[in-house]
Amino acid sequence: MAESSSPQSRQGRRHSMEYPMNCNPLSEDQFQCSICLDVFTDPVSTPCGHNFCKSCLTQYWNSTQHCHCPLCKEKFTKRPEMKINTTLREVADHFKKKTVLDKSEVLCDVCTREKAFKSCLNCGATFCKTHLEPHTVGTLRNHKLIDPVENLKNYICQKHEKPLELFCRDDQTCVCLFCTVTDHKNHNTVPIEEESGVKKTQMGKTHTEVQQMIKDRLKKIKEIKHSVDIRKRNTEKEISDSVEVFSALMRSIERSQAELLEVMEEKQKAAERQAEEFIKDLEQEITELKRRDTELEQLSHTEDHLHLLQIYPSLCRPPHTTNWTDISVDPHLSVETVRNTLSQLQKSLNEVLNVTELKRIQQYAVDVTLDPDTAHPNLILSKDGKQVRCEYKKQNLPDNPERFSVCACVLGKEGFSSGRFYYEVQVSGKNKWDLGVAHEFIKRKIHIKLNPQNGFWTVWLRNGNEYEACAGPGVPLSLREKLQKVGVFVDYEEGLVSFYDVEDRSHIYSFTGQSFTEKVYPYFCPCNIDSGKNIAPLIISPVCKTE
């Protein structure tokens, strides 16, 4: 092969590694790993310049105490980083393929040296170009020639020693002409070229189907990897959130512990001060009593009878002292003190948990917009699709299948069939409303009873202060404050629908253990005007992350 002087041509040949089949300047030992004694697989180079299979070198280094080259024994203070020599790998892979082709060459049956050009089914032999010449002239021209094959006997009928030229569709086997008048007489036979064409067409369809199956599985692999990536990110976020929760709890506990210790120390100091005052008073009384005792002792021996009689009345009166019978210092810490501290700690922990939980779910906030095609004719939607209120008069709207005809409610535009989502709704100024989610196949043309059995997961307000979870039967809700803004959170896979008081940062109610099989949509019902007492709209609010 003449080499072009063009640099592009030379580069192209280097990349494709196309060498003449009959000229092999490379020998196998040039691409042989000295460890496994086979042609390189993923070759890597050592700093000393020797090449080995990556797996061979890895196993070798793993089995030795010191890291050195297996060939020249040069030692390395640090285990070298192994990177595959891509150029050497390409050459080695080409050499492997070429070796296989060389070994699979069919040779001429006559000279046994030259590469075969054709095989003759009539002669039962394979010929090179030179020895095939008799088949180009004379009587041998009609012999059936095929591309050279090693197993030529498989192309000849073993019973009649004739070429297998026909295919029996009844027995699904190849036959010769003599077979059609003997064992396969009256069978449906066609030329093998025709049947091969049919089979190729069928194979083409199968090939297409297999390719599609491959694409489907590659797509599924991509989906699984994507799910794993999402799961990993969610897990990392959950871990981060959990660490934050426990850190906040620890800070709250430490703060409460410090407060408790401070209170206990202050109580102890107060008890000590009280004891000191008691002791001081007692010591003063003891001093006074000792003085009186001394006077009595002295007068009991006096001869001054007149003086004794003069001071006797004052000495006989009992000294002014405190009744110490019921006075004491409590040796025990006040149970009420501990109880109050623990109660405050519980309150602090609840606040931390509520704030952290709300902050965690707010990260799943989605942009919800009302769907006018589902709105009851009495409902008025704002232009931006964020507010809905009720009017006395019905609008003239088409009665499409999606629209609610009886209950004054509306759905969000976007439905959800996986994952988690959260949104907030301002409900201030209203004395009744319904909020939550509903699945896409709920009934819209009849009166609706709100409960999970009918595809609704909601809470409502009635009479200005009566809150209830519509769980079928309803669950009354006791809230500390009137709701101003409600947060709605859904975890589709977990079957969870939760409601939160955004202003109070507290949990209201959760539907748990639900089984969602259809899309779920945000659900809103501002309810009727109630003689002007309920004219305020429901407003979808942007989510402001809790700090």
* Over residues 26-34, mean pLDDT: 76
Q: Is a pLDDT exceeding 80 seen at residue 329?
A: no
Q: Tell me if the bond preceding 473 is cis, omega within 30° of 0.
A: yes
Condensed to tens digits (0 to 9), the pLDDT of residues 373-399 reads 999 999 999 999 999 999 988 899 999
Q: How far apart are the first and last CA of the chain?
A: 77
For residues 255, 258, 263, 267, the Cα torsion angle rounded to the nearest 10 degrees is 170
Condensed to tens digits (0 to 9), the pLDDT of residues 146-184 reads 888 888 888 888 888 888 889 999 999 999 999 999 999
Q: Is a pLDDT exceeding 60 seen at residue 10?
A: no
Q: Is a pLDDT exceeding 60 seen at residue 256?
A: yes
DSSP assignments along 262-281, one per residue: HHHHHHHHHHHHHHHHHHHH
Q: Which two tokens stand for residue 295?
A: 């006077």
Q: Is a pLDDT exceeding 70 seen at residue 141?
A: yes
For residues 508 and 501, what is the distance between their CA atoms, to the nearest angstrom?
A: 6
For residues 541 and 423, what is the distance between their CA atoms, to the nearest angstrom?
A: 8
Q: Is a pLDDT exceeding 80 seen at residue 332?
A: no
Instruction: Read off the amino acid at residue 182.
Output: T
Out of 42-56, 310-324, 533-547, the most confident range is: 42-56
Which pLDDT does position 351 carry in this prediction?
65
Residue 533 or residue 488, greater confidence: 488
Q: Which two tokens stand for residue 299?
A: 């007068």
Q: Are 28 and 96 in contact (CB under 8 A)?
A: no
Q: Is a pLDDT exceeding 80 seen at residue 12?
A: no
DSSP tag of 328: -
Q: Is a pLDDT exceeding 90 seen at residue 431?
A: yes
Tell me how crowded residue 443 is: count the other CB atoms within 10 A of its CB: 14
- Where along the chain do its domains lie? 28-101, 379-541
Classify domain 379-541 by CATH number. 2.60.120.920
| Residue carrying the six token digits 């506990």 | 253
pLDDT band at 235 (very low <50, low <70, confident <90, very high): confident
Residue 292 or residue 2, greater confidence: 292
For residues 61 and 35, what is the distance between their CA atoms, to the nearest angstrom?
A: 12
Show the beta-strand stretches assigned E in 75-228. Answer: 118-120, 125-127, 145-146, 166-168, 173-175, 189-191
Output the average pLDDT for the chain: 85
Using alpha carbons, select from 451, 439, 452, 453 the residue that is nearest to residue 522. Answer: 439
pLDDT band at 16 (very low <50, low <70, confident <90, very high): very low
Which pLDDT does position 239 carry in this prediction?
84
Using alpha carbons, select from 393, 388, 344, 346 the residue that is nearest to residue 370. Answer: 388
- Tell me which CATH homologous superfamily contains domain 28-101: Zinc/RING finger domain, C3HC4 (zinc finger) (3.30.40.10)
For residues 542 and 514, what is the distance between their CA atoms, to the nearest angstrom?
A: 27
* Over residues 284-302, mean pLDDT: 85
